[in-house]
Structure 1
């Protein structure tokens, strides 16, 4: 039986842009925590570190889709080069500001400019879509990208903090900035796989977020993102309460492992079930597997329940991006993918805040109630949106709602 992952990389150019894209997306995980690690050491003020990091993350969540919208109109190279130059320069300024103890406003301003960092996962998925559009290999490619995202979040945050602690405070951010510069440069140099710019039809253009399928999937993944953050916050709080704070990293790592393993398996399959139903089932599994988390009263049981909870994450991502590829006009695909990535990021930020408040007020074990509620909300969103998600791809950029299939 042929290895489906080997097959997708037989296409010329795929190994190159996938490798470059992996390097370029490391700052997604490294930069936010790297800012915290850097400023908490150089200034000793966690509120400042958290505020500057949040400024970057939240601004990027709203700026990235606008950059991706311009990418759909003008091409990847035309936008990735200038936006990345601004982002790299801003990160370097932020590092210098931290090292030289410049005024706080310079750090916030640098964080705002650094938020021009483009959504590399969207750019990479757009290239896969260009190569395997409407072919089963695209499912395998999206599975590979979901696994790559998991590896980025597992390795990126640890690498950033580890460098800052082991070497010097700015080391994590410096490495992150270098990865961004080198990765983007390598990515844009590979012009042969860059998606062609498709003209907009219908006489006018709208944002991809106005398309009903994009709205449904983005909202659903806001709730899914909050489940991720809740798992991390609650795991830290519970292991601390149990007297084993060092086990938190193991528990969080197990969560990603569950997603990683199932993602590899799903990517090797060519399921015939309609994609919107696969999406609903994956989200339903996520919702159901949040319930056992409420009863985890030992580190071992917590690790097992977190592993099980993580198993549906990659299938959710794979089907979500597959639906975006099939339901969004080709002329706005990159923006559509970026909005979904933005939804995950916003959900993680909100989930961490709400879960932290619940843990402080009601105790560590009640933090997972946020996961249960978010999982239920995500499933209801997908369930109520099945008719819109089952429609055909909108033929142009002017139709805000995908039409149902005959």
Structure 2
């Protein structure tokens, strides 16, 4: 822990971590808030699912695009514009009575305008700390983001069910503007400028590491989404057991991120971390008893934040600084698609064979990820004895004859 204390003593690190967590906090509430509000206003879970799908599609499409824009127009401009537009769209969802097609359009706009906070902050990190501290910073970031997924759903569920779904969405608008403003005004955003990429959009995917981390992120988050659906189906949406088990799942990830954060990353580290998750997910098939399921998911959780941290670190070390934001945008898109697909497959499995089918889905995603990590091990850079700083951008320098 001394390494993390030293890290947080670095000027600006604690502030930027807190600001980006505040800016991203609405991400842990939007899906549930939209689902509850649309079902309440249109009296249809099908309609709610359609609007939520529009939000997710918008986020997936926008991720690499808005991230790349930050190199062209600057981080503050892009973040300010997207924060205002997504806030307006969510406010319209809450306050404007509209037919379903218009509601779907509001959801799509809210998704397309999602501020690329993750891409921005992970691009800033290499400019804030010593190279030797960078992997620990990525691990700390991956661990602390679990706060979003523990507190966000609890808060929005309470507000939307006990007060009003409109109040829930308006609260999200308030968090989006307040957290976004704090992050946008952070001094680090003014000190760091992302160079404009000289390569065409999407060329960053020609690098094997970016493709691997995008695919592995897709499989990891798909597994998590399937497991969450299985937990809810096992005990019911409002059951205390469901909330407890999902909370300890996140706590396991938090602990794992801190525990593995300072360990050197070899090409085999990704496979080892996936193996930990696979063991935990495999144990869930033994029993759906609350205590057994909670213990199994704690084990699985120990590998989640370490996988994400390694993905951020090896991506940073494999691309030019001007391309890091777009690369993280693609990774985020992969995760969003994984969440949607994992939930959908798990839903069909639950309808077919019950909650155990969702856990089988989660295990299938993770085993596939483990196979990819083993087969493609040569595609991962060896960060032992090497920092995770991005490749510097170089350009011709004019000299006098």
**TM-score by shorter chain over 0.5:** yes
Q: Deviations over 1:205-237 (max 9, x none)?
A: 644333221111111111111110111111122
**2:58–2:110 CA contact under 8 A, matched in 1:** no
**2:13–2:128 CA contact under 8 A, matched in 1:** no
**1:230–1:351 CA contact under 8 A, matched in 2:** yes
RMSD of aligned alpha carbons: 2.3
Distance in 1 between residues matched to 2:320 and 2:229, nearest whole Å: 38
**1:231–1:252 CA contact under 8 A, matched in 2:** no
Residue 109 of structure 2 is matched in structure 1 by 113
Distance in 1 between residues matched to 2:56 and 2:201, nearest whole Å: 27
Residue 127 of structure 1 is matched in structure 2 by 124
How many residue pairs match? The answer is: 386
**1:31–1:176 CA contact under 8 A, matched in 2:** yes
Distance in 2 between residues matched to 1:156 and 1:204, nearest whole Å: 37
Please, which of 316, 333, 339 is the counterpart of residue 330 of structure 2?
A: 339
Question: Following superposition of structure 1 onto structure 2, how do residues 286-325 of structure 1 map, counting pairs within 5 Å?
Answer: 286-325=277-316
Distance in 2 between residues matched to 1:67 and 1:207, nearest whole Å: 16
Q: Deviations over 1:180-229 (max 9, x none)?
A: 1111111111234442222545x756443332211111111111111101
Residue 77 of structure 1 is matched in structure 2 by 76
**1:72–1:333 CA contact under 8 A, matched in 2:** no
Deviation larger for 105-114 or 346-355: 105-114
Please, which of 193, 197, 206 is the counterpart of residue 196 of structure 1?
A: 193
The yes-or-no answer on 1:19 pairing with 2:18 is yes
Q: Deviations over 1:14-55 (max 9, x none)?
A: 333222211110121111111112222233221111211121
Question: Following superposition of structure 1 onto structure 2, how do residues 243-322 of structure 1 map, counting pairs within 5 Å?
Answer: 245-267=239-261, 269=262, 271-274=263-266, 276-322=267-313
Distance in 2 between residues matched to 1:297 and 1:84, nearest whole Å: 41
Q: Deviations over 1:355-398 (max 9, x none)?
A: 1101111222232111221111111222222222228976779x
Gaps of 5+ in 2: 384-389, 395-401
**2:37–2:165 CA contact under 8 A, matched in 1:** yes
Distance in 1 between residues matched to 2:193 and 2:45, nearest whole Å: 45
Distance in 1 between residues matched to 2:379 and 2:203, nearest whole Å: 17
- Deviation for aligned residue 1:296: 1.4
Residue 161 of structure 1 is matched in structure 2 by 157
Distance in 1 between residues matched to 2:176 and 2:236, nearest whole Å: 35
Q: Secondary structure at the match of 2:128?
A: helix
Q: Secondary structure at the match of 1:9?
A: helix
Residue 103 of structure 1 is matched in structure 2 by 99
Q: TM-score normalised to the size of structure 2?
A: 0.90
Distance in 1 between residues matched to 2:218 and 2:241, nearest whole Å: 27
Residue 221 of structure 2 is matched in structure 1 by 225
Please, which of 371, 381, 385 is the counterpart of residue 362 of structure 2?
A: 371
The yes-or-no answer on 1:87 pairing with 2:83 is no
Q: Deviations over 1:42-94 (max 9, x none)?
A: 33221111211121122111212110011133321121111221111111111
Distance in 1 between residues matched to 2:391 and 2:123, nearest whole Å: 17
Distance in 2 between residues matched to 1:106 and 1:240, nearest whole Å: 32
Residue 397 of structure 2 is matched in structure 1 by none
Distance in 2 between residues matched to 1:173 and 1:210, nearest whole Å: 39
Residue 8 of structure 2 is matched in structure 1 by 9
Distance in 1 between residues matched to 2:201 and 2:234, nearest whole Å: 49
User: Structure 1's 206 and 219: CA in aligned 2 closer, same or farther, altered over 3 A?
Assistant: closer
Q: TM-score normalised to the size of structure 1?
A: 0.89
Question: Following superposition of structure 1 onto structure 2, how do residues 166-181 of structure 1 map, counting pairs within 5 Å?
Answer: 166-181=162-177
Distance in 1 between residues matched to 2:239 and 2:101, nearest whole Å: 35
